[in-house]
């Protein structure tokens, strides 16, 4: 089954379009995990990150279809962190979750192929179902990823319109009567043209931020065969109404990421008073249920 069809099946079976971002940060870990680390040893912090992410996966595995580990926070710990990232990916897949590694990788020619070979597919060294990819180097830097998607039933999410305020510096720049993000969206559609599965979607997805709802409407129409990964929900200000245009009439076609709002729910209202650090897993469960309910009632 293709990645796009597996994602459609997972969304239907979990009745959820929520993607939980796994973004471990030292200072924000719940006290029981943070306080167990003595000193600043990368090995100890890597073990803490692994424990934290594994416990989140245990909580959300029956509630959401997909998780998205952010590679940067693991890379920050050096080799020990990269081992932890691999363990987290393996644990999530064993729990029945699809995994999007958020690495925003890309290069040209054989180097792009090497990145794709490293990350994409269950038989790859990293074992990710999908990977975020930058389009800045052009079509020939995306095609090697698409080819590996074909051979391994994997997927990618191309950065089209990102959620950060500064993304417009390049993405909103006009060239030959077209904005850059619009041209990238065309490329996504072109690459999916001969790759559409039974779900109506192909393996070449797109990242479009919830913080730009008008562009999300436009881009859903421009990329009818692309799964859209929507960041910016919750902590960055995006709400359920903002993400609604990313979904098709059957409730498919988009997954909505939330990282801090779920994984550190114990430290924010209304969960802080009810759960706090000692019951941080219950806060994760409650925040996930609340997000699922918001998106179901969109």
d(CA 121, CA 99): 10
Answer yes or no: 63 catalytic: no
| E strands present in the chain | 18-22, 66-69, 98-105, 130-133, 155-161, 174-175, 178-179, 202-208, 226-230, 254-258
DSSP 86-111: HHHHHHHHHTT-EEEEEEEE--SHHH
Cis amide linkage into residue 205, ω under 30° from 0: no
- State the pLDDT at residue 237: 74
Of 194, 201, 211, nearest to 256 by C-alpha is 211
- State the pLDDT at residue 298: 54
- State the pLDDT at residue 232: 87
d(CA 219, CA 271): 35
Task: Check: pTM over 0.85? Answer yes or no.
Answer: yes
Of 259, 292, 263, 293, nearest to 280 by C-alpha is 263
Of 82, 96, 94, 97, nearest to 50 by C-alpha is 82
**Which entry of 26, 63, 104, 244 is annotated as an active-site residue?**
104
- State the pLDDT at residue 249: 93
pLDDT digit of tens for each residue in the chain (298 aa)? Answer: 999 999 999 999 999 999 999 999 999 999 999 999 998 999 999 999 999 999 999 999 999 999 999 999 999 999 999 999 999 999 999 999 999 999 999 999 899 999 999 999 999 999 999 999 999 999 999 999 999 999 999 999 999 999 999 999 999 999 999 999 999 999 999 999 999 999 999 999 999 999 899 999 999 999 999 999 999 887 777 889 999 999 999 999 999 999 999 999 999 999 999 999 999 999 999 999 999 999 997 5
Domain 3-296 has CATH 3.50.50.60: no
3-state secondary structure (DSSP) of residue 19: strand
């Amino acid at each position: 089954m293709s990645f796009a069809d597996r994602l459609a099946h997972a969304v239907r079976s979990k009745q959820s379009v929520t993607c939980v971002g796994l973004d471990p940060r030292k200072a924000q870990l719940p006290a029981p995990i943070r306080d167990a680390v003595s000193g600043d040893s990368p090995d100890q912090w890597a073990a803490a990150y692994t424990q934290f992410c594994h416990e989140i996966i245990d909580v959300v595995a029956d509630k959401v279809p997909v998780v998205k580990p952010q590679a940067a926070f693991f890379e920050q710990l050096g080799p020990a962190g990269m081992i932890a990232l691999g363990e987290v990916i393996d644990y999530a897949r064993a729990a029945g979750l699809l995994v999007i590694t958020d690495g925003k990788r890309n290069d040209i020619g054989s180097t792009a192929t090497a990145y794709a070979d490293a990350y994409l597919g269950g038989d790859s060294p990293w074992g990710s179902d999908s990977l975020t990819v930058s389009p800045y180097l052009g079509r020939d830097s995306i095609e090697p990823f698409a080819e590996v998607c074909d051979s391994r039933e994997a997927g990618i999410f191309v950065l089209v319109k990102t959620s950060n305020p500064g993304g417009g510096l390049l993405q909103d720049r006009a060239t030959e009567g077209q904005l850059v993000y619009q041209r990238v969206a065309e490329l996504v559609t072109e690459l999916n043209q001969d790759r559409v599965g039974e779900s109506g979607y192909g393996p070449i997805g797109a990242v479009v931020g919830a913080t730009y709802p008008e562009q999300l409407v436009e881009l859903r129409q421009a990329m009818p065969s692309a799964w859209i990964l929507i960041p910016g929900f919750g902590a960055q200000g995006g709400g359920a109404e903002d993400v609604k245009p990313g979904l098709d009439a059957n409730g498919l076609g988009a997954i909505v990421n939330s990282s801090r709002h779920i994984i550190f729910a114990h430290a924010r209202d209304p969960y802080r008073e009810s759960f706090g650090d000692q019951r941080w897993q219950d806060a994760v469960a409650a925040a996930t249920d609340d997000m699922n309910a918001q998106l179901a009632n969109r």
